[in-house]
Amino acid sequence: MPSDDVAKVVTSYTFKPSLAGGVRQFELTDDGLVWQAGTRRGTWPYASIAAVQLSYRPVSMQPRQFRADIVGGNGQRQVVLSTSWKGFALVETQDAAYRGFMLALHRRLMEAGGHAVFHGGMRPIPYALAAGVLIVFAIVMVALIARALATDAFAGALFLVALAAVFAWQIGGFMRRNKPCVYTPDAPPPQLLP
């Protein structure tokens, strides 16, 4: 039977960020966040973690990828991805493990009572610029569709509508998930966790 002084169960997460890169390992211990990236290793006490930034970052090999940037008190940054390279052309999602690790990290940060700031989504200025570009794109698409209908180019109008729908589905989901927000560690934004 384990004694009372036995450490709590350690929550860990491992992923491989690229085909050629090394494995990244993270553990939540009583001492803090223990990380290892290749030959580099460190321990950050929870109270010394300065920031956590959650975002949704799809890439070509994995259209559903979540990312967490953890910033230590010294300004050093560790990136945690919800996907892991398993082979030359295989990227595997680790949704349940990533979500569990992120929720446990937030819980530990809240218990430590540090001064970390929690941000979700994109930074406000790039988000506003991207939204502006999308508005211009939407105006241009509406004008092109109206022009195609006015000249009886129904096939062209149908193509433009289909193109706009696919674009809105892809980019709209990205923009919706990455809307800038500030949150508390007890309520991470659900759209930024798998």
The pLDDT tens digits of the residues spanning 135-157 come to: 999 999 999 999 999 999 999 99
* pLDDT computed for residue 20 by the predictor: 81
Beta strands in 38-160 (DSSP E): 40-44, 51-56, 66-71, 77-81, 83-87, 90-93, 117-120
3-state helix, strand, coil in the chain (%, to 5): 40, 30, 35
Domain count of the chain?
Answer: 2
CA atoms within 13 A on the CB side of 163: 13
pLDDT-based confidence at residue 89 (cuts at 50, 70, 90): confident
Alpha carbon separation from 137 to 5, 88, 140, 142, 164 (Å, rounded): 61, 36, 5, 9, 9
In a domain, 5, yes or no: no
- 98 and 186 belong to one structural domain: yes
- 93 and 134 belong to one structural domain: no
Which of 109, 33, 120, 111 minimizes the C-alpha distance to 77? 33
Q: What is the DSSP letter of 25?
A: E
The yes-or-no verdict on residue 167 having pLDDT over 60 is: yes
Look up the pTM and report it: 0.83
- 103 and 144 belong to one structural domain: no
The yes-or-no verdict on residue 88 having pLDDT over 80 is: no
pLDDT tens digits for range 179-188: 999 999 999 9
- 117 and 31 belong to one structural domain: yes
Domain that holds residue 137: 124-174
What is the rounded CA–CA span in Å between residue 9 and residue 63?
Answer: 33
* pLDDT computed for residue 61 by the predictor: 64
pLDDT tens digits for range 3-46: 444 444 558 999 998 878 789 999 999 999 999 998 899 999 99
- 90 and 52 belong to one structural domain: yes
